[in-house]
Amino acid sequence: MRDLAKLPKAHLHLHFTGSMRLDTLVELASATRTRLPASFIDGDPLHVPADHRGWFRFQRSYDTARALVRSEEIMRRLVLEAALDDAAEGSRRLEIQVDPTSYAPYVGGLTPALEIILDAAQQATLLSGVEVAVVVAASRIRHPLDARTLARLAVRHAGEGPGQVVGFGLSNDERAGDTSSWAAAFAIARRAGLASLPHGGELLGPEHVRAVVSALAPTRLGHGVRLSEDPALLDQVVEAGISLEVCPASNVCLGVYHEPGDVPLGVLRAHGAQVALGADDPLLFHSRLVDQYEIARGQGLDDAALAELARGSIRASLATEGSKRRWLAEVDAWLAAPQTEGEAEAARG
């Protein structure tokens, strides 16, 4: 079995605050004398039922962490640490998701908040070797007009490279709000060439995926795992070229599936879905990028199948074709390399 941390891959589903290292959280909390909820320090990942109360508990923990991010310095630190951690896990490309709204009050507004993130992403790219691009995400618990404001801000920084905005997302409780009310914001983003990257098909099933697909025309779906419950719809999504950002540990922690083995990777793959594994919120789920590939390995995927997952993540990324070609060749090299010292010996003759 080859080292999954060395498998080249792209990380397409990671939230800015949720990427925070636990050590950083503890340090920020002690500096501000903030009491952290036990769930952060008891060493166990968050585990909640897949209902409104469960989501509320998740959101409360997330908000505690987010409230500690109150300066440009901390924002820059988070982006850099996320990139360095990704680099250590073989990631070549990180598309990090951020809603600048929460940090705007501490840095002089929405525009500076996004500009700080983008500049930090560019610097982190140089320091980590991972291309860090940004997805601006609106929140379902805010007014759809706020989403339009965010979309207009996002398009001013549209591009495909490091430190640029590559897509527009919609996060928070999938059950909140009416999906079609965000169509206008996504239309603004898409017209400017941004990819449409909304969450859908995790807490709600196929019916909601249908609504997301028709109202927001996604390039990729954040999660989409519940498509396994409707094979015909899954086929349509695959046919439409929509990739899935699958986050197995997140699904289990949020009560969508019981065990990592229940996450329907097999069904999605059998239907030809292009899957990019992601960690979502490692701070809360205590599970990083490589852990998601370990979960896939635990479901019986061999190294060739894991390499194919990594290729899927690279193809589903919004990087340039040149970058993708380079990383895909690196995946081939990972798979072609000898697995053991014995094989290496034999290869050397």
229 is catalytic: no
**Angle ∠(164,152,240) on CA atoms, nearest 5:** 70
Name residues contacting Zn ion, limited to 247-286 (CB under 5 A).
Answer: 280
By beta-carbon proximity to Zn ion, the closer residue of 72 and 280 is: 280
Residue nearest to Zn ion (CB): 280
Question: What are the angstrom distances between the C-alpha of 247 and each of 58, 77, 257, 280, 293?
Answer: 16, 24, 11, 6, 10
Least distance to Zn ion from the beta carbon of 189, Å?
17
Least distance to Zn ion from the beta carbon of 61, Å?
14
Q: Please, what is the end-to-end C-alpha distance for the chain in angstroms?
A: 21
Least distance to Zn ion from the beta carbon of 138, Å?
13
- Which run of H or of E encompasses 43? none
Length of the chain (residues):
349
Least distance to Zn ion from the beta carbon of 1, Å?
29
- Binding-site size for Zn ion (CB under 5 A) equals 1
By beta-carbon proximity to Zn ion, the closer residue of 96 and 107 is: 96
Closest CA to 269 of 231, 325, 217: 231
Task: Enter the DSSP assignment of 278.
Answer: -
Q: Could you say whether residue 72 binds Zn ion (CB under 5 A)? A: no
Q: Which of 202, 245, 294, 330 is catalytic?
A: 202
Region of 11 (left: φ > 0; alpha: ψ -120 to 50; beta: rest) is: beta
By beta-carbon proximity to Zn ion, the closer residue of 86 and 280 is: 280
By beta-carbon proximity to Zn ion, the closer residue of 122 and 172 is: 172
Any bridge partners for residue 141, and if so which? Answer: none
Residues with active-site annotation: 202
Binding site for Zn ion (CB under 5 A): 280
